[in-house]
Amino acid sequence: MFRLLVVLLGLLPGVLAAETPQEKGLAIAREADRRDEGFGDYAARMEMILRNRQGEESARRLRISALEVKGDGDKSLSIFDEPADIKGTALLTFTHKAGADDQWLYLPALKRVKRIASDNKSGPFMGSEFAYEDIASQEVEKYTYKYLRDETHEDKPCFMIERYPVDKNSGYTRQVLWIDQAEYRPWKIDFYDRKDSLLKTLVWRGYRQYLAKYWRADEMFMQNHQSGKSTLLKWSDYKFRVGLKPADFNEASLSRAR
* pLDDT, position 10: 54
Question: What percent of the chain is predicted at pLDDT more than 70?
Answer: 93
* pLDDT, position 153: 95
Pick from 225, 252, 248, 218: nearest CA to 44 = 218
Q: Are 198 and 175 in contact (CB under 8 A)?
A: no
Least confident segment among 56-60, 172-176, 251-255: 251-255
**Cross-strand bridge partners of residue 211:** none
pLDDT tens for 11-62 read 555 445 688 999 999 999 999 999 999 999 999 999 999 999 999 999 999 9
Please tell me the total number of residues recorded for the chain in this structure. Answer: 258
pLDDT tens for 74-86 read 999 999 999 999 9
| Distance, CA of 159 to CA of 178 (rounded, Å) | 6
| Distance, CA of 241 to CA of 250 (rounded, Å) | 19
Angle, alpha carbons 51-54-56 (nearest 5°): 45
